[in-house]
Chain A
């Protein structure tokens, strides 16, 4: 590599490095660090890579179209979560599960692995750890274990959880279809499903407990990984994480009735709300998403209105050409976010009719949705916009070229680590996919590797990064009185997160030799 190329590579890396340093060492929020990255990329792109005002204008518009695709799902998912949570249903689901088994390993698996994944499927953004950690403390687990276990346990479901927001982001930035990306993503995340279950139990009580729960992990893991794979490859990736964890919940409750796991009497606490009513919103969601995705007439009807823009060919002052073409279209009424929104509204009226809400509940729901949605959205928009500036000025291409020259054929081993790094620094699989998705795709292309496999490794690493993301650990620790004492939790999750990512890297490398 020439000296000039190395200098250009360092400049191209500087926006990402800025975000990394500010989030990891300065504890900045995603939105502030994203804005800083945006400024650095704007300056470097203009001074070094030949960006001009017209190029910046088009890149920002493309960035907003990508952001809107992701934000649509995030806001609708948050709205649905608050519609449900405001009735007390999340707590009722927790108590309902607790009444099935008194076995500690089963409790760890059901709460820390399955229920946390279920919450990731319907909400995400730190909710699984924040909700499950206090429930585990109440069951008698230590605070460190109570935060670490759901952090490890839910990670496998992050990509297809939150109604597939992270997967949507991966499709948006790469421009590739779900039918191409889903099989490898679901396969690698399927492997991660088992590993997360094993290490969640191991974090509680070592190999002895893993041996005791091995049968449960195999049955439940196969159910969840299999369901996620089927839903994802059949086009219902918005339900991938949610459907898989719901199936896992059913198999987990069945496994809890096996003789070896049923020797300690379960809790007799009665929930204020029946389990079926608590789950009603999610049954409505399944019906609406299935109808919207699987019935061609409904799908075509909802898909009539699309927001789409055409972009001309853009050439930077240094001669880098971005081809003309349409930006990411937004299917206004048939988008995953729209289907979620319909489900939320119907669920709200069902719960209202049954009298589950306090007066002024809608105001509280909207306030909570806005409060949690705005900071997340600021982070996503600023990061997507700076990623688009980088993409339009050859910066991502130069990064990818440098990585492929250094790592060459062993790049698949490295790919999940890049995803993990992205999630660690931004606290989000979605942001990781946005920042590094195009880079990984370009590197795969230059190294002659399957983009589907490398992007699957990227998003799997990004999902696993959720267990070590300081932003999420902080949320969990604050709910169990560990605020300011996050170190031991991070130490635990870091250890297992690195091991699982290493295994995924080896599997990706092996798979790259086969395909």
Chain B
């Protein structure tokens, strides 16, 4: 697993960056529609992305 992270470190970080930049747009749309379920799901995805950055960033 560690080897996989080392080999693809830059690609994985780039994916994390894209997710960090894109998820808030969906969060905004969900918040404007008042859909709490969607917001919570997207926040969970955001937390997952931040967790990856925290571990491997």
Taking a contact as CB atoms under 8 Å apart, the answer to whether B21 and A60 are in contact is no
Taking a contact as CB atoms under 8 Å apart, the answer to whether A35 and B24 are in contact is no
Neighbouring A residues of B30 by C-beta, 8 Å: 57
The residues in B between 11 and 30 inclusive whose CB is less than 8 angstroms from any CB of A are 13-14, 16-17, 20-21, 23-25, 27-28, 30
Closest to B57 in A: A31
Taking a contact as CB atoms under 8 Å apart, the answer to whether A61 and B27 are in contact is yes
Q: Which of B27, B42, B53 is within 8 Å of A35, CB to CB?
A: B53
Please tell me if B8 contacts chain A, counting CB pairs below 8 Å: no
Taking a contact as CB atoms under 8 Å apart, the answer to whether A375 and B13 are in contact is yes
Neighbouring B residues of A63 by C-beta, 8 Å: 24
State the CA gap A381–B50 with chains docked (Å). 10
Contacts A63-B24, A374-B14, A374-B17; is A39 near B54 (CB within 8 Å)?
Answer: yes
The residues in A between 374 and 406 inclusive whose CB is less than 8 angstroms from any CB of B are 374-375, 377-379, 381-382, 385
Please tell me if A299 contacts chain B, counting CB pairs below 8 Å: no
Taking a contact as CB atoms under 8 Å apart, the answer to whether B25 and A38 are in contact is no
State the CA gap A385–B50 with chains docked (Å). 11
Please tell me if A449 contacts chain B, counting CB pairs below 8 Å: no
Most buried by B among A36, A63, A377: A377
Taking a contact as CB atoms under 8 Å apart, the answer to whether B43 and A53 are in contact is yes
Give chain B nearest CB distance to A24 CB in angstroms. Answer: 17
Would you call the interface of chain B mostly helix, strand, loop, or mixed? helix
Contacts A32-B53, A370-B14, A382-B50; is A53 near B21 (CB within 8 Å)?
Answer: no
State the CA gap A31–B56 with chains docked (Å). 9
Contacts A35-B54, A38-B50, A56-B43; is A374 near B24 (CB within 8 Å)?
Answer: no
Neighbouring A residues of B54 by C-beta, 8 Å: 32, 35-36, 39
Closest to B53 in A: A35
Taking a contact as CB atoms under 8 Å apart, the answer to whether A60 and B14 are in contact is no
Chain B interface bracket (under 10, 10 to 19, 20 to 34, 35 or more): 20 to 34
Neighbouring A residues of B47 by C-beta, 8 Å: 39, 42
Q: Which of A32, A58, A312, A370 is within 8 Å of B57, CB to CB?
A: A32
The residues in A between 8 and 51 inclusive whose CB is less than 8 angstroms from any CB of B are 29, 31-32, 34-36, 38-39, 42
Neighbouring B residues of A378 by C-beta, 8 Å: 13, 16-17, 20, 53, 57
Taking a contact as CB atoms under 8 Å apart, the answer to whether B39 and A64 are in contact is no
Give chain A nearest CB distance to B25 CB in angstroms. Answer: 7
State the CA gap A482–B34 with chains docked (Å). 56
Selected A-B contacts with CB under 8 Å, 7 pairs:
A35-B53, A35-B54, A54-B31, A57-B31, A57-B43, A64-B21, A382-B53
Interface residues of chain A, those whose CB is within 8 Å of chain B, are: 29, 31-32, 34-36, 38-39, 42, 53-54, 56-58, 60-61, 63-64, 67-68, 309, 312, 370-371, 374-375, 377-379, 381-382, 385
Starting from the known contacts A32-B57, A39-B47, A381-B17, 17 additional A-B residue pairs (CB-CB under 8 Å) come to A29-B57, A31-B53, A35-B51, A56-B27, A56-B39, A57-B28, A57-B31, A57-B42, A64-B21, A370-B10, A374-B17, A378-B13, A378-B16, A379-B57, A382-B50, A382-B57, A385-B24
Interface residues of chain B, those whose CB is within 8 Å of chain A, are: 10, 13-14, 16-17, 20-21, 23-25, 27-28, 30-32, 34, 36, 39-40, 42-43, 46-47, 50-51, 53-55, 57
